[in-house]
Amino acid sequence: MDIDVRLGLTPTDLELRQIQVHRPAEWVDLNPEDHAEFRVVQEKFASEIITSRLFRGERTIVVKKERIVEIATLLRDHPDTNYNYLSDLTAIDHLDHLEDGEARYEIVYNMYSMATFNRFRLKARVDEDDPSIDTVEGVWASAGWNEREVYDLFGITFNNHSDLRRILMPDDWIGNPLRKDYPIGGEEVEFTHNVRGR
Partner 1 sequence: MATLEKDLKVQQIAAQLGSGVDLERVETDNGDELMIVNMGPQHPSTHGVLRLVVELDGENVMKATPHIGYLHTGLEKTMENLTYYKALVITDREDYLSNLMNNLAYSMAVEKLMDIEVPPRAQRLRVILNELERIASHLLWLGTHALDIGAMTLFFYTWRERDQILDMKEQLSGVRMMTSWICPGGLRGDSPDGWFYKVNRFVSEFPAHLDEYRRLVTKNPIWIERLTGIAMMSKDDCLAWGVSGPTLRAAGVAWDVRKANPYSGYDQFEFDIPTGSKGDVYDRFLVRMEEMNQSYRILVQALKDVPGGPVMTSDRKVAPPPRAELDTSMESLIHHFKLFTEGYRPPIGEVYAAVESARGEKGYYIYSDGGNKPYRVKIKGPSFNNLQALPKMIEGLMLADVVAAIGSIDIVLGDIDR
Site residues, partner 1 (CB under 8 A): 23-24, 26-27, 55-56, 58, 60, 84-88, 90, 92-93, 96-97, 108, 110, 114, 117, 119, 121, 140-142, 144-146, 165-172, 177-178, 184
Choose between 101 and 186: whose C-beta lies nearer to partner 1. Answer: 186
Of the pair 96, 100, the CB lying nearest partner 1 is at: 96
Smallest gap from Cβ 45 to partner 1, in A, equals: 22
* Distant-in-sequence contacts of 107-111, Cβ < 8 A, 24+ apart: 107/65, 107/68, 107/133, 107/150, 107/156, 109/72, 109/136, 110/86, 111/75, 111/76, 111/83, 111/85, 111/86, 111/87, 111/140
Q: Which among 101, 106, 128, 91 has a CA at the least distance from the CA of 22?
A: 101
Q: Least distance from C-beta 132 to partner 1, angstroms?
A: 20
Q: Which is nearer to partner 1, 47 or 185 (CB)?
A: 185
Rounded-to-integer distance, Cα 66 and Cα 68, Å? 6
The total of other beta-carbon atoms located within 10 Å of residue 195's CB is 10
Least separation in angstroms between residue 177's CB and partner 1 is 6
Distance CA 114, CA 82 (A): 8
Nearer to partner 1, 45 or 182 (CB): 182
- In the complex, minimum distance from the CB of residue 77 to partner 1, in angstroms, rounded to a whole number: 13
**Residue type (1 letter), 61:** I
CB of 43 to partner 1, least distance (A): 25
